[in-house]
Amino acid sequence: MSKEENKKLFIETLGCQMNDTDSQHIIAELKEHKNYSTTNNMEEADLIIINTCSVREKPVQKLFSEIGQFNKKKKDTAKIGVCGCTASHLGEDIMKRAPYVDFVLGARNISKIKDIVDKKGAVEIDIDYDDSTYQFAQSGTSLYKTSVNISIGCDKECTYCIVPATRGEEISIPLEMIVQQVAKDVANGAVEVTLLGQNVNSYGRRFSDGREKTSFTKLLQEVSKIDGLERIRFSSPHPLHMDDEFIEELVKNPKISKCIHMPLQSGSTSILKDMKRGYSKEGFLKRAKKIRDLIPEVRITTDIIVAFPGETQEDFEDTIDVINQVKFDQIFNFKYSPRPNTQALELEEKEIADNIGSARLTEVIELHKLHQSEHMESNIGKTVNVLFESLKPNGEVSGFTDNYVQVFVKGSDELLGRFIDVKITGASRTSLKGEVIN
Ligand code: SAH
Ligand code: SF4
Ligand code: F3S
């Protein structure tokens, strides 16, 4: 039997970490079943895939400008596929706007890639499709770090967010499948895992085989038992569901990285209500304070949306107040972007003028820079433990501390994959410099 000829895949990924993992699954499936290998050169590719994001308008515009370019420069015979969240929400409209697209494959339908890749004109965007128990081919790309999905979809109804409409209802991946996947990656050399879901704290509420419920805390405990796994991260938890049992696990489990994402979105209780986030300004502050008190070295990161419809100056000042009180270690800032299929569209008449949104965004960014510098400089003179993971062209080696600060030292590849004590000698706003302690 002649083996199918080797073909080249060029894949571009927009959006979040879950989309990155989906792209790894696509690569692994096409490698195992269709004999594709990846290339960074789009012009030599036989298949071009763009794995899209819909969360704001910008990445959707990017999709159409990019595929237009791909179509001009690609080999004549090359196919173009559009996958991910924008594929889910626009479906066959993508082909109407860009008739040269060969197939459209929505998020949570990714396991169908090997069947759809050769079907010209196919559109698979079933929002109820359940691939939570599909065994994806092994990607084998993980070196020291790996990412594993723990659920698909999202059951929350944050009024600004398109994700529930693109990824459908939440279904947890069976616990033993997750543990098995992490153990496999650890056997291949990974020492760190990031567990991924749109709302990790709701893990275990619904499985497709109707089995008994479990919890995210239980999953953390089971994953921690894997020998050789040294560090566990996860994204994203939801501030509303970070209950005492979960916080206790954060505090006492030494394998859990002490860098926690707490997406605030807004500091105003009235805006949080309109966003349907389920917590108040005070509730958020109380939880953040509790975590900082119990874990002094913790770093807290967040997401903030400014200029949500109806956001007054007073509401915005509440956001500034929370930023000043929590002093987040990292803020991902966004200006509100109206999205199809979201409840916030009903608040259209309360939309905030773009120049006000931009000014608020700038204010958040500038304030945050001050806090970042303050946090980073407080590390000078301290000794930290770093997992080294990449060699830089200038002879430096970079890695991350347990609370996820990037550290650079002079050194060689001997450091890679090891946890090593480093004395911090300098700080920039986003990283540290240090010397290995021998
Ligand atoms: N499930 C995750 C991530 C959701 S998308 C979570 O809840 O944390 C990542 C971030 O994009 C959100 O946290 C939010 O800050 C931002 N975002 C989502 N929809 C948006 C919109 N319509 N406009 C601007 N930012 C948005
Ligand atoms: Fe969107 Fe909210 Fe779900 Fe996050 S938790 S994906 S912001 S609906
Ligand atoms: Fe974007 Fe979909 Fe992720 S909309 S943020 S790729 S869940």
Element counts in the chain: helices (H) and strands (E): 13, 19
> Which DSSP string do the residues of 122-168 spell out, in sequence order?
EEE--TT---TT--PPP----SSEEEEE-EES-----TT--HHHHH-
Share of the chain above pLDDT 90, in %: 95
Residue listed under structure tokens 């050399």: 189
Q: What is the pLDDT of residues 371-422, one digit of tens each?
A: 999 999 999 999 999 999 999 989 899 999 999 999 999 999 999 999 999 9
| pLDDT given at position 1 | 40
| pLDDT given at position 143 | 80
**Nearest-atom index, ligand 3, CA of 52:** 6
Spatial distance between the Cα atoms of 220 and 223, rounded to a whole number of angstroms: 5
Determine contact, residues 91/83, Cβ cutoff 8 Å. Answer: no
Q: Which amino acid is at 125?
A: I
Spatial distance between the Cα atoms of 96 and 405, rounded to a whole number of angstroms: 45
Spatial distance between the Cα atoms of 36 and 52, rounded to a whole number of angstroms: 20
| pLDDT given at position 63 | 93
Ligand 3, atom 1, lies closest to the CA of 53
As given in the structure block, the two tokens for residue 41 are 């050169």
| pLDDT given at position 141 | 58
| pLDDT given at position 243 | 93
The ranges of the chain with pLDDT < 50 are: 1-2
Ligand that comes closest to the CA of residue 54: 3
- Residue 314 CA to ligand 3 center (angstroms) comes to 30
| pLDDT given at position 4 | 65
Spatial distance between the Cα atoms of 160 and 154, rounded to a whole number of angstroms: 14
Q: Which amino acid is at 9?
A: L
CA angle 237, 242, 248 (to 5 degrees): 115
- Residue 35 CA to ligand 2 center (angstroms) comes to 36
Our answer on whether the CB atom of 153 is closer than 6 Å to any ligand 2 atom is no
| pLDDT given at position 2 | 43
Spatial distance between the Cα atoms of 317 and 269, rounded to a whole number of angstroms: 12
Spatial distance between the Cα atoms of 163 and 388, rounded to a whole number of angstroms: 34
- Residue 180 CA to ligand 3 center (angstroms) comes to 26
